[in-house]
A and B are shown apart, each in its own frame.
Chain A
Amino acid sequence: MPSHDPSGHGHDHDHDHDHSELSDIQLRVRALETILTEKGYVDPAALDAIVESYETSIGPKNGARLVARAWIDPDFKAALLKDATEAANALGHVSPVSSHLIAVENTPQTHNLVVCTLCSCYPWEVLGLPPVWYKSAPYRSRAVIDPRGVLADFGVSLPAETEIRIWDSTAETRFLVLPMRPPGTDNWSEDKLAEIVTRDCMIGTGLPNP
């Protein structure tokens, strides 16, 4: 859901929009940061560093590296499926992965789909910030009852007999889908393989497309 104009959202306005190009939410966020900073509860330099990390270094490329490695290295794949936290950290990541990362493998029989129906739990360290759709009511409501309909929204159609396993992230465990390696990629390098591993592939709403 776009958030560019929250002015119709029902809270009281005590300022005049004609005199400011800043939206109500911008003003309120700025005010809170000012107060928290003045009181010493937050350090603006730390806030800058957090924002920068998500804009530059933490993203789905980290997860794609895990998948590509698993595709070319059976030992790594076994380690990833056994304990994804340990395997990810052994590979050496930009951002260390905390406990409870769980990799779930797509097979010809089973397709995995990850959701958080209650909020927006997501494996940030390997996929970055969740996209807006992942946090949206349509996805959170439908993934557990109509996954084929959700997949159709993404242009994905699976064989009628494929089992679809939905993982609702209701605790601090986090799930990463290990997609199937597409045919015709036998001689590809690890780096080239990583390029076709999209964020959606690792949530389960996409398939790698060489």
Chain B
Amino acid sequence: MSNTIHDMGGMHGFGPVESEANEPPFHEPWEGRVLAMQRATGFMGLWSIDGGRASLETLPPVTYLQSSYYQRWFLGLEKRVVAHGLVGADELAAGHSLHAATPAPRTLRAADVPRTQTRGNYQRPSAAPAKFKPGDRVRTVNISPTTHTRLPRYARDKEGIVEAIRGCHVYPDTAALDVHNENPQWLYTVVFTGKELWGDNADPTIKVSIEAFEPYLLPA
């Protein structure tokens, strides 16, 4: 969903950033298993990276805030495997499989791992030329979809400048709902002044950019 707790930019009250010296890759072994299961199930190709994100964003806000990063990943993964019919709620309760598996589209093997550690490429051929070019003034749309979007609340209905065109990419807003609905869109880096985003009291030395898909932008 769109206006949910994951969209944190500009919120107050979360306190200082606390860095941990010599932080290990994983604090506990189960965290590594969650990351690996996330990768391996993603390899099956049943959901998009944005479908994965959406399953975390739709966690209840209190759960989201109280859970650690890998706990959130785990809760989202549980939701996805159930929603896609891979695992039954009764199996989660039992702790082992109770039903025959539907055939897996493909299963990640150890030999595939080095190759699949490189992130996917989200660039796609374009159906139309880009509407904007660097230097163009644009205004972001004012939207509140109840489904996934990558336009943060703090950057909606704001005027900015196109700084760069990043190519034509899979559109998260549709791919989150259906892995096959990639609906490629031009992607731009759009930069805003602190004042435009936060008002007259903003730090005058800051500029913030987002990566904005073309449907998020209107000519200004």
Contacts and interface: CB of A to CB of B under 8 A. Distances in A.
Contact of A100 (B12, B67, B122): B122
Contacts of B182: none
A3 interface: yes
B183 interface: no
A61 B56 CA distance: 30
B220 interface: no
B6 A119 contact: yes
A31 B95 CA distance: 5
B37 interface: yes
B8 A140 contact: yes
Interface residue SS majority, chain B = mixed
Interface in A124-165: 124-125, 128-129, 131-133, 135-148, 150, 153-154, 160-165
Contacts of B58: none
B30 A165 contact: no
A132 to B, nearest CB: 6
B139 interface: no
A182 interface: no
B208 A47 contact: no
Contacts of A4: 27-28
Contact of A150 (B17, B104, B198, B208): B17
A169 B28 CA distance: 27
A167 B32 contact: no
Contacts of A2: 27, 68
A210 interface: no
User: How many A residues are at the interface, by size bracket?
Assistant: 35 or more
B118 A46 contact: no
Contacts of B49: 172
B156 interface: no
Interface stretch (A63-71, A90-98, A187-195): A90-98
Interface of B: 6-12, 14-20, 23, 25-28, 30-37, 39-41, 44, 49, 53, 56, 62-63, 65-71, 74, 77-78, 81, 86-87, 91-93, 95-97, 101, 104, 107-110, 112-114, 117-123, 150-152, 154-155, 166-167, 169-170, 172, 187, 189, 191, 194, 197-198, 202-203, 205-213
Given A28-B78, A30-B33, A171-B166, 9 more contacts: A4-B27, A10-B63, A25-B30, A43-B110, A46-B112, A132-B27, A136-B17, A168-B155, A173-B166
Interface of A: 1-4, 6, 8-10, 14, 25-36, 38-43, 45-51, 53-55, 58-59, 95-100, 115, 117-120, 124-125, 128-129, 131-133, 135-148, 150, 153-154, 160-173, 200, 205
24 contacts: A3-B69, A32-B87, A35-B96, A40-B101, A47-B36, A51-B35, A53-B117, A54-B32, A54-B35, A55-B32, A98-B121, A100-B123, A115-B9, A117-B152, A125-B118, A128-B25, A129-B26, A136-B17, A137-B11, A140-B9, A145-B194, A166-B206, A168-B155, A172-B170
